[in-house]
Structure 1
Amino acid sequence: MTSFPEATRLSRRAVLTGAAAAAGALASGGLTACGPGDKTNAPGTTGADALKRALPKYIPSTSVTPDIPSVTGATGAASDPAFLSYPATPAQTVAARPGSGGVFSTRTPLWGAIPPSSGNTYYDAVNAALGSTMTMQPADGNTYVDTLPALFAAGKLPDWLQIPSWGNQKLNLGTAVEQFVDLTPYLSGDNVAQYPNLANIPSAAWQAGVWNGKLYGIPSFSSPNNFPGYLFYRKDLLEAAGVSPDVKSADDLFAAGKQLTNANAGRWAFDDLWPFLLFPYGVVSTWNPGPDGKLVHQYETDGIVEAMSFAARLAKAGYVHPDALAGNTGNGQQRFWSGKVAIGAGGTGAMDGDDHKGGTAANPAYSRQLVKVFSATGGTPQIQLGPGAGWFSYLNRKLSDKQIREALAIANFLAAPYGSKEYLLVNFGAADVDHTMTGGNPVLTQQGSKDVATSYQFLASGPQVSLVKNGFTQVVKDYAAWQADAVKHAVRPMFFAMNVTEPAQYASIGQQVEDTIKDVRSGRKSIDDYRAAVAAWRKQGGDDLRKFYEGVREKHGTGQ
């Protein structure tokens, strides 16, 4: 699992598009594993009719008006609304304390230093406003999912647990979800109206929290344009080299590589562009209908072969940083910041004031930009649209009805929209203690930097917005403009957010193919080697997996 780049506190957008994006890029939905005898049952999967009955009704909030409104594009994708400053008079969206004195144990991931649990001004302020005691227990995000199976096996689950989407398979969540509260009677349809901030989360964001036709998960960091990631470039470096960022084909990208590379000076055009190089070649879904209607895996498409061939072409030309070719992805951020590479790839969460602060520390002219969505071959530009949310929290089924309702009232408080009083408290702590207002935006104090950590937000949080961090207003404007264009080209993959449960015996059959892909795109192996690996994959279970998904399509549809 890729670790988050932040050293201390995780930013809102990076949560959504950092490790989750790396784990979910090109995945068709939340996948879990089931036993060998479950080849046709696919526990976890939900068809369209059952999904409609389980989802909460979307009732958008009008309490706050963004500076840059959302733009709706293809397939219902929409850009995040953007705010250039926090409202001078924040709206109050919850009239009274939601809690009734309950005590809830929690477990959430955290990338960075774990804050103190006692004497924590942030925890104290939020718990006081909630009227309940939330025992916050953030754990190392890099190993977080690995620690969860033992809790399930021992029956020691906390009252409220965060499970990121990439943990679904390890936990066999299609079956294990029975250990959590079925929230369908509380939140489905009009039932959600008693929790206005939860109702403000679009219905599509709840979809991947539905298992076996029932709603279990409460979403965090939802967005109608949950793009896994794309290609980035250093605007300042391209301008200095006289290179246009207006990439419209693979040839344009190759030409930029030639102009930007100077190995003798320690500068290369590209870092590792995989897997996001697949999107320009039209590979936006794991499974696709072939000409005869039968399903075709992305391994079997011309697009992935063309993308690998182009990556190998860049490598052989000497335009890719040697460390990237060697698989050293851990220093990719630093290579980009320092200007050793001018074009890279990754989660869109990097369009963030924290990134810009880190980049300008190395170069005052630093400017990260996203390449506009393009087609490598001159076809229709496409970018994969991920599920509306990839982070879900679950309530322990041992909770009483009273505790469940108290927890949902707390979740409603935590999910308050950006611009509200509640959001300010949940994300920045107490005024003049944990944060102050600087330049129209909240900034953590020294105390806040020590105590405030992304924790409550993993239990519930409202829809994503673009916001100013560290005073970098232009970053927000640039990202909003890119999103407004990208949503025009968004494509939903097959089995979109359906929580399809793959039989466990297929979990590792693709590893040889993935290893071969690395060798082909670095120039160490040939396309013939790749085709041989795919042939082996088919014999080892790929063709059986195809039949499995054909069965899912026949029984449940494709989620489109």
Structure 2
Amino acid sequence: MQSGAIPDAGGLSRRGLLTSIAVIAAVPLLDACGSPKEKGAGTTSEGDLSKALPAYAPSDLVKPDIPVVAGANGASTDPAFLAYPANPVRTVTGAVGAGGTYVTMTPLWGAIPPSSGNAYYDAVNKALGATLKLQPADGNTYADLLPPLFAADKLPDWIDVPSWTTTKLNFGEAVRTKFADLTPYLAGDKVKQYPNLAALSTNAWVSGVWNGKLYGLPIYSSNAVIAGAYFYRKDIFDKAGVSADVTSIADLEAIGKALTNAAAGQWAFDDLFGNDAGYICQIFGFPSQGYPWTTDSGGKLQHRYETDGIVEALNWHAKMVKAGYLHPDAVANNSQNAKQRFWSGKVAVCADGTGAWNGDDAKSGAAANPSYNRQAFKLFSAKGDKPTIQLGNGASMYSYLNKKLNDGQIKELLAIANYLAAPYGSAEWLTVNFGTAGTHHTMTAGNPLLTEQGSKEIATTFQFLACPASASTVQSGAVQVVKDAAAWQADLVKHTVKPLFYGMNVSEPAQFASLGQPMMDTITDVKLGRKPISAWTEAVTTWRKQGGDDLRKFYDGIREKFGTGK
């Protein structure tokens, strides 16, 4: 991983982090009485969404070694490459920029490279035909840096706004007063003048649409849009003669019994729930935190907290804890060493973001055990019937152009964005991600490898302004990992379903912002067996009285005015 890439945060890899944060809940302005000044600020109806979205025009200039497989509801696998093309094609011809100079701001997880005398920055800006003055900021505190800039109206020309920061920004309102409307430039077939942007899937753009207009350029989008997976140690399973053909929760319980040996320091499971239910909802069929609403048998809106599925999931997870199948650190709610527990073989099954399955992981695992082999269970349901997985947003980071820019400047920056969005395997991608050959990278075993200078000067900066869809690529020489992950994705994308209010950017009033934390705390207590299931039932009753029922009424209003997005 390059310096400055998004780290594992709380057990989520970059992919997991981006795809698990699904809905954006920007807080609208309040009047003196504390009620929303504008109901549904930011919300977009399904009809308006379709008008604002760019047309999808996939490119065939770069052919992956493992082709994309189409799934359900717009999902598909990521393209997979076993080596970087020997003769990278150019996807952009002619001049890109028009010599303009622009100030940008992006988050950065990792060491911030020098801005002065940075040959990498100079090389990319030369290729762009413009000067982007990069201002990367600490990603860990990025959310706290944004509100003062918005309040003082001191935003740069081009800025990355992660979706999880918008709750602090009154974004449903701010987006139309601070940023350029890109609908006239990119909606429908207009995007085709920027072919690399047109190659981003429709699902990637949906959460960049606010108030019926397109504002955001998707960052680190994925065609697969899957939150995470249940991984297992195939080498441990094989050695123990345990089958990984899991089709129901009963099969998983059998694995728990077969692979737990506390005396030998081995447990079958790590935490399989997660406070946000991003994983276990796949098995028990209730909505994720990102899109938490469904309907009951009578068509009434029902929150995930109110479903039978989450009750069944909590009971089951607590049962696994009581049986002794979870590692003691997981029972203690300690996730800090979760990867090490998996690498060392102290646990045989864990939940993690899909990006955890890569060559660097294989290298780390092999350092602890030469036979290390991470695989993922195929999607299954608790009862063994047909499984489904909720579609996540194609991206949860977007970049925005300042509204003060004129028409010519907007067009120049979109042309630059088109260059930055060149796909993996292209000449442009190599320049944006690895700088100059010989200076910043060399080709080793068919793939680019940073030189010492490249490691110092290159970080994830330009990519947070615009970038192509994710691709599965070889890391640390682990070719088989790419093949395995691609085959797993091909099966998974067949089962995707759209949740209610998908891609509508519903902005919840501020009075509902504090409802979730007590529920998260109760989930932790019940799933780990600290409290009985009755504590959950009581928490749901309190949630409804303290605002849950009012939140339902709010969404009923959204449904009546805008539809549900399905």
TM-score, L = length of structure 2: 0.94
Aligned to 1:46: 44
Aligned to 1:352: 358
Letter in 2 for 1:324: A
Aligned to 1:325: 331
Query: Is 1:104 paired with 2:99?
Result: no
Deviation at 1:357, TM superposition (A): 2.1
User: Are the aligned partners of 1:261 and 1:268 in contact in 2 as well (CA < 8 Å)?
Assistant: yes
Deviation at 1:405, TM superposition (A): 1.3
Aligned to 1:57: 55
190-199 or 499-508: which moved more?
A: 190-199
Q: 1:383 and 1:12 mapped to 2: Cα distance? A: 25
Aligned to 1:173: 171
Offset from partner CA, 1:347-370 (integer Å, 9 cap, x none): 101111222222222222222211
Aligned to 2:90: 92
Letter in 2 for 1:205: A
Query: Is 1:278 paired with 2:281?
Result: yes
Q: Say if 1:538 and 1:16 are closer, same or farther in 2 by CA, change over 3 A.
A: same
Please, which of 485, 500, 504 is the counterpart of residue 510 of structure 2?
Answer: 504
Percent of matched pairs sharing the same residue: 59
Q: 1:433 and 1:390 mapped to 2: Cα distance? A: 33
Offset from partner CA, 1:389-437 (integer Å, 9 cap, x none): 2110001112222221111110010001111100111111111111111
User: Are the aligned partners of 2:13 and 2:352 in contact in 1 as well (CA < 8 Å)?
Assistant: no
Q: 2:106 and 2:253 mapped to 1: Cα distance? A: 43
Q: 2:195 and 2:59 mapped to 1: Cα distance? A: 8
Query: Is 1:155 paired with 2:153?
Result: yes
Aligned to 1:216: 215
Aligned to 1:186: 185
Deviation at 1:9, TM superposition (A): 4.3
Deviation at 1:30, TM superposition (A): 2.1
Deviation at 1:7, TM superposition (A): 8.9
Q: 1:11 and 1:41 mapped to 2: Cα distance? A: 34
Query: Is 1:548 paired with 2:548?
Result: no
User: Are the aligned partners of 2:6 and 2:108 in contact in 1 as well (CA < 8 Å)?
Assistant: no
Q: 1:436 and 1:349 mapped to 2: Cα distance? A: 25
Query: Is 1:265 paired with 2:264?
Result: yes
Q: Say if 1:362 and 1:115 are closer, same or farther in 2 by CA, change over 3 A.
A: farther
Gap regions ≥5 residues in structure 2: none
User: Are the aligned partners of 2:6 and 2:109 in contact in 1 as well (CA < 8 Å)?
Assistant: no
Letter in 2 for 1:333: K
Letter in 2 for 1:204: N
Aligned to 1:3: none
Give the secondary-structure state (helix, strand or coil) at the position aligned to 2:242: coil
Q: 1:380 and 1:91 mapped to 2: Cα distance? A: 42
Deviation at 1:537, TM superposition (A): 0.2
Offset from partner CA, 1:139-171 (integer Å, 9 cap, x none): 222222222112111222111111111112222
Deviation at 1:16, TM superposition (A): 4.9
Deviation at 1:204, TM superposition (A): 2.5
Give the secondary-structure state (helix, strand or coil) at the position aligned to 1:10: coil
Please, which of 312, 322, 339 is the counterpart of residue 316 of structure 1?
Answer: 322
Equivalent residue pairs, number? 551
Offset from partner CA, 1:186-234 (integer Å, 9 cap, x none): 1112221221111111223111100001110001122222111121111
Q: Say if 1:352 and 1:11 are closer, same or farther in 2 by CA, change over 3 A.
A: farther
Aligned to 1:115: 113
Q: 2:405 and 2:104 mapped to 1: Cα distance? A: 13
Letter in 1 for 2:260: T
Offset from partner CA, 1:289-327 (integer Å, 9 cap, x none): 111111000101110011111110111111111222222
Deviation at 1:68, TM superposition (A): 0.8
* RMSD after superposition: 1.8
Query: Is 1:442 paired with 2:436?
Result: no
Q: 1:53 and 1:437 mapped to 2: Cα distance? A: 44
248-257 or 117-126: which moved more?
A: 117-126
Deviation at 1:15, TM superposition (A): 6.8
Q: 1:89 and 1:442 mapped to 2: Cα distance? A: 13
User: Are the aligned partners of 1:7 and 1:111 in contact in 2 as well (CA < 8 Å)?
Assistant: no
User: Are the aligned partners of 1:385 and 1:490 in contact in 2 as well (CA < 8 Å)?
Assistant: yes
Q: 2:465 and 2:540 mapped to 1: Cα distance? A: 41
Q: 1:239 and 1:446 mapped to 2: Cα distance? A: 40
User: Are the aligned partners of 1:16 and 1:390 in contact in 2 as well (CA < 8 Å)?
Assistant: no
Offset from partner CA, 1:258-279 (integer Å, 9 cap, x none): 2222222222211111221121
User: Are the aligned partners of 1:225 and 1:487 in contact in 2 as well (CA < 8 Å)?
Assistant: yes
Letter in 2 for 1:527: I
Query: Is 1:408 paired with 2:435?
Result: no
User: Are the aligned partners of 2:42 and 2:506 in contact in 1 as well (CA < 8 Å)?
Assistant: yes
Aligned to 2:5: 10
Deviation at 1:98, TM superposition (A): 1.0
User: Are the aligned partners of 2:287 and 2:293 in contact in 1 as well (CA < 8 Å)?
Assistant: no
Q: 1:414 and 1:97 mapped to 2: Cα distance? A: 14
Give the secondary-structure state (helix, strand or coil) at the position aligned to 1:501: coil
Q: Say if 1:339 and 1:387 are closer, same or farther in 2 by CA, change over 3 A.
A: same
User: Are the aligned partners of 2:13 and 2:356 in contact in 1 as well (CA < 8 Å)?
Assistant: no
Q: Say if 1:429 and 1:344 are closer, same or farther in 2 by CA, change over 3 A.
A: same
Deviation at 1:556, TM superposition (A): 1.0
Aligned to 1:31: 25
Gap regions ≥5 residues in structure 1: 1-5
Q: 2:13 and 2:427 mapped to 1: Cα distance? A: 22
458-467 or 233-242: which moved more?
A: 233-242
Aligned to 1:490: 496
Give the secondary-structure state (helix, strand or coil) at the position aligned to 1:442: strand
Aligned to 1:255: 254
Aligned to 2:425: 419
Q: 1:260 and 1:166 mapped to 2: Cα distance? A: 38
Letter in 1 for 2:529: G
Q: 2:361 and 2:141 mapped to 1: Cα distance? A: 24
Deviation at 1:11, TM superposition (A): 7.1
Q: 1:554 and 1:466 mapped to 2: Cα distance? A: 41
User: Are the aligned partners of 1:32 and 1:502 in contact in 2 as well (CA < 8 Å)?
Assistant: yes
TM-score, L = length of structure 1: 0.95
